[in-house]
Every structure is written in structure tokens, then in C-alpha cells.
Amino acid sequence: MTVTMEKVTAVAQESVATQQEPPAADDLDQVLWRAWKAMDLPEGYHAEIIEGSIDVSPTGRRRHSVIANRLRDALFMFLQNTDYTAYQDANVIHGLTVTIPDVLVAPRNLETAPDAEGLGVDAAGVQVVVEVVSPGHRDRNRDRIRKRRAYARAGIPVYVLVDDHDEDGAVSVLSDPDPRGGDYNTLHRQPYGTAVVIPDGPAKGFAIDDTITQGR
């Protein structure tokens, strides 16, 4: 579920109304950034800035949490002898864009990949992002399309989608981002039951198979 934040919209409209000239995109981005930092959400919700809007969504359902935890634990073990590890629910900052992947791979020492304001981790330090696709139409659109573009624009090397709602379930691994075009050049998609492997970076060789996706 994505909730339209009326207060955020009002702040943005008020900011625009006080200007005689049409606002620059940068000005609106700053309004959203300030509004995001000032938000006080109820427990169980988080907010992201994606493609010029603030998206507020609830924490995942049980199935969503199970898959995310399996992935995080498996990646943690896979990466234990490297300088990288797996995290959950961390802010990934790229300019004035904020995303919160279900799982991400970043340096074990996050001090090596700080964002300017200490609000999360700079996207430049993130090697893999994973989204477990939620059932709602808006949620599917966000994960499959809007976040795909956002992660590609941020230059994150690998984007993984675990999608119960892609036919009978499928895992897609996207790699080789094109930041200017806002997309990934390479896609490997496998239905549940067939392993798909991360091709690049510190998690290269990590297989996502039915030990992750089993159960519905």
C-alpha cells in the first residue's frame, strides 16, 4: 500500500505558491527532502522519496518478512569472510532520493560509505539491493518499475526482485546498470524452483533458490 501524504502535498503547494516563477525541479526536491526528514510516522510504516514523490508504506506481511529474513541470513553467511555484509531496512541515499530496500549488501564498516547527513548509507557503497514484491498494484509498480529505475540511476550494480506475483513466482536478477537511461542492461529471470545466481560483486555466486522462496 502507498499512502498519499496530504500534508507533504500541501507543503509543496505552499512553497510553489510563494514563487512568481515556476519552481525548478531542484526546489521541489528540496521541499520533499525537508518534508521527509520532518516526518513522524506511526510504528510499522516507513517513507521513501522515489521519482519526485514521498511513498509511505507499511511493513511487510508475514510471507514478506520470512523471505527477507531468509535472504538476509543467507547473504550474511555467504559474506562472512569478506568486507561486506547484509542489512535490512536501511535508508539508501542517492542525492535527494531515499529508498529502503528489504535487504541490501554494503560494506561491513558503514563509515566507509556515509551519506552527507548521516541518515543512512550512500548508494555508491551499496552493491546489491533486494525487494520482496508486495501484492498491491501500487506496490508491484513501485518495486518492478519505479524502484528499478531509481536503483539503476543510482548505479547500484545488482537489483534482485523476489516476486510471488510474477506468474507462479519468479526471481529476477538485474545487473549492469545504465544510470543515464535509468535501467539495467542485463536481466536473468527464473521461476521459483530454479536457482538464479548473483553475477557480480562481493555476492557473486550467491544462489537464490527454493530454500529462500519455498512456502506460499
Each residue's pLDDT tens digit, 146-205: 999 999 999 999 999 999 999 999 999 999 999 999 999 999 999 999 999 999 999 999
Is residue 9 very low, low, confident or very high in pLDDT (cuts 50, 70, 90)?
Answer: very low
Give the model confidence (pLDDT) of 133-150 as tens digits. Answer: 988 888 899 999 999 999
pLDDT at 17 over 60: no
| pTM as predicted | 0.87
Mean pLDDT of 39-67: 92
Q: Looking at the domain that runs over 60-213, which CATH code has it been given? A: 3.90.1570.10
DSSP H or E segment with residue 62: helix 62-78
Name 170's Cβ contacts closer than 8 Å, sequence gap at least 6.
163, 189, 190, 191, 192
Extents of the domains making up the chain: 6-57, 60-213
